[in-house]
Structure 1
Amino acid sequence: MQHKSHITLSFVVPAFNMEVYLGRCVDPLLMAKDSSDIEIIVIDDGSSDGTAAIADGYARRIPSVIRVLHQSNKGHGGAVNAGVALARGQYVKVVDADDWVSPGSLERVMAVLRSECGRSEPVDLLVTDYVYDKVGRRHKHIVCFDRVMKSDTRLGWDDLGRFGLSQYLIMHSIFFRTEVLRRARLRLPEHTFYVDFIYAYEPLPYVKTLMYVDTPFYHYFIGREGQSVQTNAMIARTDQLVRVNHAMTLDTPEPDSVPDGLYHYMIHFLSITSVVTSVFLILSRRPVNYMIKDGLWRDIDMMSPRIGHDVRRTLASRAINLPGRGGRFIIRYGYRVADRLVGFN
């Protein structure tokens, strides 16, 4: 599809049975003072409730901004793939239909993106802060990157500081330049949960420049019934976590092929996802999953001894591989403490 340069930002909204939440997601996206260079693409991923009718209602009322694609169910990855393929903006932002954005942050981000679109070489990646907005929690944990990146400044990977344990550029924090995703030929697995990790990882070697805007743009809604990141759901889907982790391992570049800063960040992110996968394998309390967990780490070593060495030497990786029953007890206890503090599940 031919690129329309006058559209600055395409919001892709994957929606499966989201009739309760879709309005809360879409309405803030329409609060920009100027929406003439914004498009919202709602992907109705085979919903069986009122999602399709709600989305079509928005498209009828505001056809200049909102488009809707109805497709048979392909899962989150298939919905994102469809939205990115339709995107006409110079930048793409995925907003899940049960999440929402801050209207005040939207104005600030749009000002930056419009400025970048006017440059001969616009930044490839824009980063913002995001909020864990958990049901029933008064204090909302905000993931900030102000100690890693200088705000409102064009940066290369080697300009970044050190990421903390809870700091990584997940889908909620990033805006890709659309051309980057197309150069990367990003194609997420269909009918697979947790592919947002792949979305935020695989295209990174194609990113040369980035910029951070220190505003809590994205509200990540946690705690609704049936959510894929609920603890029990993640334990039940450890096979999919392993599948995603394997895909990320294959996407990890050797250190001499990319800037040092990018390699160190990707090792950090791969370490975090490997640890997360290992945690849920341990939480399952199934001996077969303990073996799968050990195999996951062996696979990283076998793919690349250097990458395996660098991933294993992070503090989180060393902790997750504490041996025996005592090590697993420490992991379970640490998970409970972390979840109480942050509220990420």
Structure 2
Amino acid sequence: MDKILSVIVPAYNSEDYIERCLSPFVRADAETRKKLEIIIVNDGSTDGTEKMVESYVEKYPYMFKLCNKENGGHGSAINHGVKYVAGKYFHVVDSDDWMNLTEIKGFVRFLEEHDVDVVANSFLCVADGSFKVIDKRPCISDDRYARKEILWEKVAAETELIRIHAITFKREFYLGHNIYLDSLRYYDDFEYTLFPMAYARKVAFYEPYVTSYRLGRSGQSVSIRSMQKNRDNHMKVIESLLKFYDGCSDAPESIRTYLAMGISKIVENQFQIYISLGNKKGIKQEMITFDKMLLDRYPDVYNAVSKKSIWMLRRTGYNILPVGYLVYKLVKRNQ
């Protein structure tokens, strides 16, 4: 039987949580399991990740595949995994996240019955430890478009950023455009989700909550401490995205609007880094220089920023940065 969905699982030292990621697939019904391919890319783990994955490969060799590689970061793991994809579509699930068992069968059936470049799904945000749902992220606000094949150009400008937890690509489409992610340690998910959308023609929105995204785990790249530590990588991804945006001048206006909005989200994260380091020498000038560059060279990205705190900084000549830093410290202290 042909594989319908390949799931790439980048894994690095994931022995404490990868089982929650893998177990829903083996609990799916037998017919659905035959249509699944789970590719775990072991990115040079030094713990028991490899051994744990091997147990799944031994029990379910028709479904699980282990690919070992030297440590190279999240983006390199995705690049590596894509080489082995056999399914009609593929989706990336990080090793600390998972697909919701109750939705796997329906999602695979939907993919089997539709032929589009990109499928967006809704996802849940789940608290680490308690696993309580703390937020729901629907993939679409207009039910008229649910489960229909739609021209991307028609809806791009009004679509919220499709996050890595919510995006599935048709294999032929992704490979056909030679998408390649920078081998950075963090934040390459913005490249992964935005690069292909410049070329997409047809999309579909599947409104069930297919995936769960874990929040609050120590060491996550989205934590402010991690962003501070890796802010050079963060800026390199922004530079990569802006360079890509420069090359999309011939894209339809609605798609450029979507790309600018998507890049603005990582720009907002960059401001969060600046605010959290607001007491450091030179940070204010670095922030001003960065924002002026956006205004001068990328006004669409500059204006797509939606956070009120950033616009307050801009309107006050960035002079309220110390206030922002104090608020950050108070919030951190009370967490």
TM interval, shorter chain, is: 0.7 to 0.9
In the alignment, which residue of structure 1 is the partner of 2:286?
292
Equivalent pair of 1:125/1:176 in contact (CA under 8 Å):
yes
Give 1:266 shift.
1.0
Residues 268-307 of structure 1: matches in 2 within 5 Å? 268-285=261-278, 286-301=280-295, 305=297
In the alignment, which residue of structure 2 is the partner of 1:186?
179
Distance 1:319 1:63, change over 3 A: farther
Mean alpha-carbon deviation: is it higher for 128-137 or for 40-49? 128-137
Equivalent pair of 1:123/1:154 in contact (CA under 8 Å):
yes
Could you give the per-residue CA deviations for residues 228-258 of structure 1, whole angstroms, max 9, x where no partner exists?
2222111221111111111111111577622
In the alignment, which residue of structure 1 is the partner of 2:8?
12
* % identity of equivalent residues: 22
Residues 2-81 of structure 1: matches in 2 within 5 Å? 6-33=2-29, 34-81=32-79
Cα distance in 2 between the residues matched to 1:336 and 1:161: 38
Cα distance in 2 between the residues matched to 1:48 and 1:274: 33
Give 1:7 shift.
1.6
TM-score normalised to structure 1 length: 0.86
Equivalent pair of 1:279/1:331 in contact (CA under 8 Å):
no
Cα distance in 1 between the residues matched to 2:234 and 2:179: 19
Distance 1:313 1:230, change over 3 A: closer
Task: Please state if 1:174 is matched with 2:167.
Answer: yes
Give 1:192 shift.
2.1
Mean alpha-carbon deviation: is it higher for 9-18 or for 244-253? 244-253
Equivalent pair of 1:59/1:66 in contact (CA under 8 Å):
yes
2:136 maps to which of 128, 138, 142: 142
Give 1:293 shift.
2.7
TM-score normalised to structure 2 length: 0.88
Distance 1:64 1:254, change over 3 A: closer
Amino acid aligned to 2:17:
Y
Mean alpha-carbon deviation: is it higher for 215-224 or for 179-188? 179-188
Equivalent pair of 1:131/1:218 in contact (CA under 8 Å):
yes
Amino acid aligned to 2:275:
I
In the alignment, which residue of structure 2 is the partner of 1:207?
200
1:157 maps to which of 142, 152, 161: 152
SS at match of 1:264: helix
Give 1:264 shift.
1.4
RMSD: 2.7
Equivalent pair of 1:148/1:163 in contact (CA under 8 Å):
no
Give 1:160 shift.
2.0
Task: Please state if 1:129 is matched with 2:129.
Answer: no
Amino acid aligned to 1:132:
C
SS at match of 2:263: helix
Mean alpha-carbon deviation: is it higher for 136-145 or for 256-265? 136-145
Residues 289-328 of structure 1: matches in 2 within 5 Å? 289-301=283-295, 305=297, 308-314=298-304, 315-316=306-307, 318-319=311-312, 321-322=314-315, 323-327=317-321
2:84 maps to which of 69, 77, 86: 86
Amino acid aligned to 2:2:
H
Amino acid aligned to 2:169:
F
Distance 1:7 1:220, change over 3 A: same
Cα distance in 1 between the residues matched to 2:200 and 2:8: 20
Unaligned runs of at least 5 residues, structure 1: 117-121
Mean alpha-carbon deviation: is it higher for 26-35 or for 234-243? 26-35
Cα distance in 2 between the residues matched to 1:275 and 1:295: 15
Distance 1:20 1:255, change over 3 A: closer
In the alignment, which residue of structure 2 is the partner of 1:231?
224
Equivalent pair of 2:275/2:321 in contact (CA under 8 Å):
no
Cα distance in 1 between the residues matched to 2:199 and 2:245: 12
Equivalent pair of 1:11/1:94 in contact (CA under 8 Å):
yes
Aligned length: 325
Mean alpha-carbon deviation: is it higher for 217-226 or for 133-142? 133-142
Amino acid aligned to 1:92:
F
Cα distance in 2 between the residues matched to 1:332 and 1:126: 42
Give 1:146 shift.
2.8
Distance 1:13 1:254, change over 3 A: closer
Give 1:325 shift.
3.0
In the alignment, which residue of structure 2 is the partner of 1:119?
none
In the alignment, which residue of structure 1 is the partner of 2:240?
247
Cα distance in 1 between the residues matched to 2:46 and 2:16: 13
SS at match of 2:319: helix
